[in-house]
C-alpha cells in the first residue's frame, strides 16, 4: 500500500512548502523523512525573529537553536530583553503568604546568580559563535520587556490600569522564550526595571569575543509618558559609540543601527509605536516620526534630534550622510540653517515625505522661499524626492500635494518654479491656506 514516505523528495518538499506553520510543526513529528522536509520551512515560518531574556533557560534555548544545522540558519534577528527583577526582591524570605513576592524572590535570585557568574555572557558568546559559523546575516536587538499602552477615558478600560494625564494606562508584557519559566505571572512593571546597560554590556562582550558583530543593532525600547527624551538613557546606550562608531561619527563598515520606539505596531497603539531611526554603514539615514526643531519650537510629540534623544549617537545623524529620508517628520528653520549645511559635502539623495515645516512669525514668504532656495543652492543633490509637504508660517499654511522624483538638472528647474509660484501665492494677503500640486 503506497505511503507518503515513498513519494519523491521533490513532492515532499512541495507539500511542506504549502503547509501552514501549525501543520509544519506536526509534520516534523511524523517521521524522519517528513521531519527533514518540514524543518527548514518550519524555521522560516516560525523562527526567523526570536526574543530571549536574561535567564539560564532562555539563553540555553538560544544556544540550542543557533547550534541546529538547519534552524540556526533560519534566524534573521535575535532579541535580548533589558528587564531585570529589582534587587530588593533577592532579600525577600521564601514561603511568605504573598505568592507574587515568592515568585519575584525566585526570579531575582535566579537572574542575579546567573549574571554574577557571567554565565549569560558565556551563552551569548556560544550563540554568536554558532551564528558566525552559519555565515548568515543576523540583526542583534535589545528590546524592552514592558511598554506602556495608553487609552482615552472614553475607551474600554484595560486590565491592570492606572491613570495618567487623563489616560488609562496598561503595561504590556512583550513575551519571549523562557518568559513564563522565569517570571510566571509576575507584573514586571512593579517588580522589574529596564536595565539596557547590563544587556548591552553583555552583548558587546559577546560580539567582541565571538567576532560576530551581526548585520546591525536594533534598539526596540519603550518610552515613559512625559519623558523629555525618548529613552531614559544611562551610560549603557552610549557604550555603542565605542563599539560601532568611528571618531568622525560614521558607522563601522558592515554595521547598521536601528532605534525603534517603542514596540511592534501589533502590540501598541499611539504616537510612538512607529518612531524609527535607521543609520546604515552605506552612509544612509532614515528618520520616521521625528523632529528636527529648535528647543523653543519643540512640542515633545516626537523624538527631537536637537534634544539629544540618543545620547552620544545624536552626533551621528548630524554627520555627513549620502542618502537621507525624512518621513512624517516635523522640522523648522533649523533644517535649512544648520542641518542641510552639515550634510552638504556628502548628501546626494534627499527624500522629504509627509514632512511638516514650521516657520517663525513674520517670515512667511521668506521662510518658504528660503526653504526651496536652500534645497537648490546649499545642497548638491543628484536625486530629490518631494511629497506631501505642509508649510506653516505666520498663521498661513501651504500644502504640497503629490510626489515627484527629480534628477540632475530637473532639480534646479523645478525648485526655480516652486520659488516663483510660492512667492506669488504668499504675496496674496487674502490667501491664508493653499494647495500646490506636484505634477
Quick one: pLDDT at residue 403? Answer: 93
For residue 71, give the 3-state DSSP assignment.
helix
- Write down the domain spans for the chain: 1-46, 48-215, 320-439
User: DSSP string covering 180-231, please?
Assistant: HHHHTT--HHHHEEE-HHHHHHHHHHHHHHHT---S-EEEEE---TT-SSSS
d(CA 61, CA 52): 9
For residue 356, give the 3-state DSSP assignment.
strand
139 Cβ contact list (under 8 Å, min separation 6):
76, 77, 78, 214, 215, 216, 217, 218, 256, 258
Quick one: pLDDT at residue 174? Answer: 79
**Mean pLDDT per 10-residue section of the chain, whose length is 439 residues:** 57 63 68 74 84 96 95 91 82 61 87 94 95 86 74 47 48 84 86 83 85 74 46 50 65 65 43 65 84 62 71 65 90 80 88 87 62 89 94 84 93 93 81 81
Vertex 29, ends 27 and 33: CA angle to 5°?
70
DSSP code of 337? Answer: I
d(CA 284, CA 200): 24
d(CA 410, CA 396): 28
Q: For residue 206, how many other CB atoms are within 10 A of its CB?
A: 22
pLDDT in tens, 229-267: 444 344 455 555 666 666 666 666 656 677 766 444 344
Quick one: pLDDT at residue 410? Answer: 94
d(CA 175, CA 146): 9
Quick one: pLDDT at residue 267? Answer: 40
**Burial class of 408 by CB neighbour count within 10 A (0 to 12, 13 to 18, 19+):** exposed
What are the residues facing 208 on neighbouring strands?
Answer: none
Q: How far is CA 427 from CA 207, 336, 364, 366, 424, in A?
A: 59, 22, 9, 10, 5
User: DSSP string covering 367-412, please?
Assistant: HHHHHHHHHHHT---SEEEEEEEEEEETTEEEEEEEEEEEETHHHH
For residue 298, give the 3-state DSSP assignment.
coil
Amino acid at each position: 500500500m503506497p505511503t507518503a514516505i515513498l513519494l519523491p523528495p521533490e513532492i515532499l518538499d512541495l507539500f511542506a512548502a504549502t503547509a501552514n506553520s501549525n501543520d509544519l510543526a506536526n509534520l516534523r513529528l511524523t517521521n524522519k523523512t517528513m521531519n527533514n522536509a518540514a524543518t527548514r520551512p518550519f524555521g522560516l515560518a516560525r523562527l526567523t525573529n526570536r526574543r530571549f531574556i536574561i535567564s539560564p533557560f532562555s539563553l540555553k534555548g538560544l544556544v540550542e537553536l543557533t547550534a541546529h544545522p538547519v534552524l540556526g540558519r533560519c534566524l534573521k534577528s535575535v532579541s535580548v530583553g533589558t528587564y531585570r527583577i529589582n534587587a530588593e526582591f533577592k532579600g525577600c524570605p521564601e514561603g511568605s503568604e504573598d505568592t507574587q513576592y515568592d515568585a519575584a524572590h525566585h526570579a531575582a535570585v535566579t537572574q542575579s546568580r546567573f549574571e554574577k557568574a557571567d554565565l549569560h555572557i558565556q551563552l551569548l558568546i556560544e550563540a554568536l559563535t554558532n551564528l558566525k559559523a552559519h555565515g548568515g546575516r543576523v540583526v542583534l536587538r535589545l528590546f524592552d520587556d514592558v511598554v506602556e499602552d495608553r487609552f482615552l477615558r472614553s475607551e474600554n478600560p484595560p486590565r491592570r490600569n492606572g491613570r495618567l494625564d487623563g489616560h488609562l494606562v496598561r503595561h504590556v508584557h512583550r513575551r519571549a522564550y523562557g518568559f513564563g519559566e522565569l517570571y510566571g505571572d509576575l507584573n514586571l512593571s512593579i517588580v522589574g526595571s529596564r536595565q539596557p546597560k547590563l544587556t548591552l554590556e553583555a552583548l558587546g562582550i559577546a560580539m567582541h569575543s565571538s567576532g560576530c558583530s551581526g548585520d546591525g543593532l536594533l534598539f526596540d525600547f519603550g518610552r515613559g509618558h512625559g519623558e523629555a527624551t525618548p529613552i531614559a538613557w544611562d551610560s549603557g546606550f552610549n557604550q555603542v559609540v565605542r563599539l560601532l562608531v568611528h571618531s568622525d561619527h560614521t558607522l563601522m563598515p558592515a554595521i547598521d543601527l536601528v532605534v525603534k520606539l517603542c514596540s511592534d505596531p501589533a502590540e501598541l497603539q499611539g504616537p510612538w509605536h512607529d518612531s524609527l531611526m535607521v543609520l546604515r554603514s552605506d552612509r544612509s539615514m532614515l528618520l520616521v516620526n521625528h523632529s528636527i526643531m529648535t528647543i523653543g519650537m519643540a512640542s515633545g510629540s516626537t523624538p527631537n534630534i536637537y534634544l539629544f534623544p540618543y545620547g552620544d549617537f545624536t552626533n551621528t545623524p548630524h554627520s555627513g550622510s549620502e542618502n537621507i529620508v525624512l518621513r512624517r517628520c516635523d522640522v523648522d528653520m533649523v533644517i535649512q540653517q544648520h542641518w542641510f549645511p552639515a550634510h552638504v559635502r556628502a548628501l546626494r539623495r534627499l527624500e522629504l515625505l509627509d514632512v511638516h515645516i514650521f516657520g517663525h512669525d513674520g517670515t512667511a514668504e521668506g521662510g518658504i522661499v528660503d526653504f526651496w532656495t536652500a534645497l537648490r543652492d546649499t545642497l548638491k543633490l543628484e536625486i530629490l524626492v518631494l511629497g506631501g509637504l505642509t508649510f506653516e508660517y505666520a498663521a498661513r499654511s501651504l500644502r504640497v500635494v503629490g510626489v515627484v522624483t527629480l534628477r540632475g538638472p530637473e532639480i534646479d528647474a523645478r525648485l526655480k518654479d516652486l520659488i516663483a509660484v510660492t512667492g506669488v501665492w504668499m504675496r496674496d494677503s487674502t490667501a491664508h491656506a493653499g494647495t500646490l500640486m506636484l505634477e
